[in-house]
């Protein structure tokens, strides 16, 4: 994949944040690691979603410093860059303040696994990360310390919002969409009464099946 293609993908993926109602104004951003290079592509700061294009995505090094162009990168660039430095398997990072997930973050409560779809995507609870002020590496450290060794690709940073990771930027965007969907349903279930947690053995079975069997495969496989 060329840097140009990656710029187009990252610009286009921002459209998914608005399509799924995950962002207000310009708050929310997607980045991608440039494969095989110590570089990342990220949204410019403060540019309307309608005006995002391959040309105004910002190419940065993995310290978050722009390496070309005049635009400033997203104010969350330091957090994204920290994740890429600390987690070499991560190819994409997304940040939103999506409403329901951020309501859980505001209470500092992880989302228990009440739903099979959550077991599939997140392998259990969606965890809460520490409170951290923007600027410096504190947010990045909180993301990495919470998600390292955790099945969930999403963390609810306390009093702030959602960060998701994935092998690609598209996978990280999917995790952000699914995190908000799970947070909304869990909130409604909690409002109606006491939801029933799924047993750990069942969570494990669901996660294993979804991660290893579900979806389109080159050879015949079970599907649903």
Work out how close the CB of 160 gets to Zn ion at its nearest, in angstroms, rounded to a whole number.
6
CA distance linking residue 176 with residue 154, whole number of Å: 7
Q: How far is CA 137 from CA 81, 143, 193, in A?
A: 9, 10, 39
- Which two tokens mark 60? 């940065």
Output 129 or 161, the one with its CB closest to Zn ion. Answer: 161
Would you call 51 a catalytic residue per the annotation? no
> For residues 196 and 114, is the Cβ–Cβ distance under 8 A?
yes
Per-residue binder mask for Zn ion (CB under 5 A), 149-188, x = binder: ------------x---------------------------
Long-range contacts, stretch 144-147, CB < 8 angstroms, 24+ apart: 144/82, 144/83, 144/86, 144/87, 147/87
Closest CA to 168 of 2, 4, 13: 13
Catalytic hit among 20, 49, 61, 97: 97
207 is catalytic: no
Tokens of 216: 């389109």
* 95 labelled catalytic: yes
- In which order are the strands placed within the sheet that holds 154-157? 58-61, 39-42, 29-33, 92-96, 161-166, 154-157, 128-129
Among residues 14, 84, 95, 100, which one is catalytic? 95
> Binding string to Zn ion for residues 102 to 141, with x set by CB under 5 A, is what?
----------------------------------------
Concerning whether 120 is annotated as a catalytic residue, the answer is yes
Tell me the number of residues near Zn ion by CB under 5 A: 1
The question of whether 214 is a catalytic residue gets the answer yes
Closer residue to Zn ion, CB minimum distance, 91 or 161: 161
| Given 84, 100, 160, 207, the catalytic residue | 160
Q: What are the residue numbers of the active site? A: 95, 97, 120, 160, 214
| Residues of the shown chain interacting with Zn ion in the complex, contacts defined by CB under 5 A | 161
């Amino acid at each position: 994949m060329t840097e140009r293609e990656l710029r187009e993908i990252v610009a286009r993926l921002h459209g998914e944040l608005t399509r799924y109602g995950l962002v207000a104004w310009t708050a929310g951003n997607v980045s991608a690691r440039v494969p095989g290079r110590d570089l990342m592509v990220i949204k410019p700061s403060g540019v309307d979603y309608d005006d995002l294009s391959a040309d105004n995505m910002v190419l940065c090094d993995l310290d978050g410093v722009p390496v070309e162009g005049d635009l400033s990168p997203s104010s969350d660039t330091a957090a994204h860059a920290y994740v890429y430095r600390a987690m070499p398997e991560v190819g994409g990072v997304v940040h939103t303040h999506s409403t329901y997930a951020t309501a859980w973050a505001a209470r500092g409560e992880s989302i228990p696994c009440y739903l099979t779809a959550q077991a599939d995507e997140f392998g259990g609870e969606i965890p809460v990360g520490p409170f951290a002020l923007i600027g410096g590496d504190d947010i990045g450290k909180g993301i990495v310390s919470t998600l390292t060794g955790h099945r969930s690709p999403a963390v609810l940073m306390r009093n702030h919002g959602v960060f998701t990771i994935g092998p690609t930027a598209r996978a990280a965007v999917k995790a952000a969409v699914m995190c908000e969907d799970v947070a909304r349903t869990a909130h409604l279930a909690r409002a109606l009464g006491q939801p029933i947690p799924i047993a750990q053995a069942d969570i494990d079975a669901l996660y294993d099946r979804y991660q290893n069997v579900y979806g389109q495969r080159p050879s015949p496989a079970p599907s649903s």
